[in-house]
Amino acid sequence: MSHEIYLNGSFVPSEEAKISVFDHGLLYGDGIFEGIRAYNGFVFRLHEHIQRLIQSAQSIALAFPWSADDLEEIVVQTIRRNGLRDAYVRLVITRGIGDLGLDPRNCAEPEIFCIADQIQLYPPAMYENGLRVVTTGVRRNAADALNPRVKSLNYLNNILAKIQANDAGAGEGLMLNEQGLVAEATGDNLFIVQKGRVCTPPASMGALEGITRNAVLDLCRLYEIPVAEVPITLHEVYVADECFLTGTAAELIAVTQIDGRVIGSGKEGLLTHRLHEGFRQLVQKEGRPVYDE
């Protein structure tokens, strides 16, 4: 099935959406992106996604001509052109076409494309029964090398960790930072529950400041559940009462086993379930409308 892809100012059929082999996003991973969700015709926290994209661009000195309003409109129009109500959107900006050298000064202008489709990161059985996770030997990028808060096109670090998780037959891989503290999973943020308190590593520990992560923090405060952003060791994950992952594609999913250790009861915990249900309700009522209704 063909999709309408936004590419550099116009919509084209997906089979005609092409970028140059000299694009530095392809040659060097020199670019940024956002994964965004729409639910029931509303784009969830679109403003926050676009602001994070702009911050990523600022961090890697990638100047582009589009305003925040322009970028939001591109996302909305892409969903609308594809007639979707529930969608996963990938908005990508690259440094643009250059030469075979890596010098970004040789790229004339940035390129942009936006894809709207559907996604299911994990099968339904994993949401029902929980996810098995293993700790990978691949460490998260050090913040002073490539800050994980930049959502860049270079995901090789995460991919190598995902390969290790796949080889172990696990649903996800947990990544530690250079200090041996928990950073995040290969594509998701991690939370644990200890004696009624919800904890997640701060972004300074090597985690992306996830939009879904922040939504869960907001829900905890709304429900008056004790919550903290604190360094987390593997030991604390192993002995946690509950554990779950969050992400735009994954949404919220319980972790029931890590490195062979059963977490809590081995099922989705009570607080995890409450936050999961709260998140489902939140995305149905919050967001920018795609259609005039």
Whether residue 215 contacts residue 282, with contact meaning beta carbons closer than 8 Å, is answered with: yes
* Catalytic, out of 18, 151, 195, 285: 151
3-state secondary structure of 7: strand
The CA–CA distances, whole Å, from 281 to 114, 203, 274 equal: 27, 26, 11
Q: 2: which 2 tokens? A: 């063909």
d(CA 270, CA 267): 9
Taking alpha carbons only, the member of 87, 75, 37, 116 closest to residue 282 is: 37
**CA pseudo-torsion sign 250, 253, 259, 260:** negative
Is 267 considered catalytic here? no
Buried b (16+ CB within 10 A) or exposed e, 96-134: bbbeeeeebeebeebbbbbbbbeeebbeeebbeebbbbb
| Active site members | 151
